[in-house]
């Protein structure tokens, strides 16, 4: 029996929300079947950037921005469902990473915002989130899903491999037959490009 899930991601590049429809068969093999994108308005992007340093009334600002993000996430979900002619009942759950505004695993915390309860209400679909906190609590760097995905897709019984994932922040995954899978941040990635190209098309929305 096939189960369908929607994954939502808004990364440190702050370009917008990516929604992906993934189907899992009886063997739990994933297959991405469709995607949808909603660009961040410039006001949302600026609001996220303004929350990254400490500032005035940041608790209220982060809560209000979390609500706005939930509405954008819901827009992406509804757009994806409409394009695929699916109802919310056809989706088992939504996985939503939320928008990172503070990430300091060296100090034992990471913070992603986005009102997941509001997202569930707006879509009528169960929502799962907060993927980073447990990994940080276990002395990780808060990216537990990427190494598991790399292992599933790229592991080889005949050779050792190192996978480089260049997102806003770059990270490495080591896949070695005789050693546990490990992954960690290794430095800035597309955040530098984003900072150097302020006139990108999405920045004018």
Q: Are residues 32 and 53 in the same domain?
A: yes
Q: Are residues 128 and 160 in the same domain?
A: no
Query: What is residue 199's predicted lDDT score, i.e. its pLDDT?
Result: 52
Which of the listed residues 138, 159, 185 is the one where a domain comes to its end?
A: 138
Region 153-172 average pLDDT: 90
CATH code, domain with 132: 3.30.420.40
Confidence category of residue 204, pLDDT binned at 50, 70, 90: very low
Which of the listed residues 122, 138, 154 is the one where a domain comes to its end?
A: 138
41: left (phi over 0), alpha (psi -120 to 50) or beta: beta
Is the pLDDT score of 147 beyond 60? Answer: yes
pLDDT digits (tens, 9 = 90+) for 34-48: 999 999 999 999 999
What is the C-alpha R_g of the chain?
A: 18
Residue range(s) defining the domain that contains residue 181: 143-205
Contact 49/110 with Cβ under 8 angstroms?
Answer: no
Query: What is residue 41's predicted lDDT score, i.e. its pLDDT?
Result: 94
pLDDT digits (tens, 9 = 90+) for 89-105: 999 999 999 999 998 88
Q: Are residues 71 and 157 in the same domain?
A: no
Strands 109-113 and 30-39: unpaired
Q: Are residues 161 and 134 in the same domain?
A: no
Q: Are residues 129 and 159 in the same domain?
A: no
Which of the listed residues 96, 111, 138 is the one where a domain comes to its end?
A: 138
Region 104-119 average pLDDT: 93
Is the pLDDT score of 202 beyond 70? Answer: no
Contact 54/35 with Cβ under 8 angstroms?
Answer: no
- More confident of the two residues 90 and 138: 90
Q: How far apart (Å, rounded) are the C-alpha atoms in residues 2 and 23?
A: 6
Region 60-75 average pLDDT: 97
SS3 content of the chain, % helix, strand, coil (to 5): 40, 30, 30
Q: Are residues 69 and 20 in the same domain?
A: yes
pLDDT digits (tens, 9 = 90+) for 167-201: 888 889 999 988 899 888 888 888 787 777 765 55
Q: Are residues 126 and 151 in the same domain?
A: no
Confidence category of residue 154, pLDDT binned at 50, 70, 90: very high
Count of domains forming the chain = 2
Query: What is residue 201's predicted lDDT score, i.e. its pLDDT?
Result: 53
Q: Are residues 116 and 197 in the same domain?
A: no
Q: Are residues 52 and 80 in the same domain?
A: yes
């Amino acid at each position: 029996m096939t189960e369908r899930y929607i994954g939502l991601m808004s990364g440190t590049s702050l370009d917008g929300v990516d929604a992906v429809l993934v189907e899992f068969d009886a063997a739990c093999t994933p297959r991405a079947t469709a995607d949808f994108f909603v660009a961040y308005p410039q006001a949302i992007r600026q609001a996220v950037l303004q929350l990254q340093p400490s500032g005035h009334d940041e608790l209220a600002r982060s809560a209000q921005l979390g609500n706005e993000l939930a509405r954008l996430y819901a827009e992406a979900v509804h757009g994806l469902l409409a394009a695929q002619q699916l109802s919310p009942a056809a989706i088992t759950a939504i996985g939503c990473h939320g928008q990172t505004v503070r990430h300091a695993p060296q100090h034992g915390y990471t913070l992603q915002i986005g009102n997941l309860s509001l997202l569930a209400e707006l879509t009528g679909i169960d929502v799962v989130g907060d993927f980073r906190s447990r990994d940080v609590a276990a002395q990780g760097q808060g990216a537990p899903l990427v190494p598991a995905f790399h292992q599933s897709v790229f592991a080889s019984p005949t050779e050792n491999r190192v996978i480089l994932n260049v997102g806003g922040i770059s990270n490495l995954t080591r896949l070695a037959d005789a050693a546990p899978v490990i992954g960690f941040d290794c430095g800035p990635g597309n955040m530098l490009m984003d900072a150097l190209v302020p006139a990108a098309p999405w920045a004018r929305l």
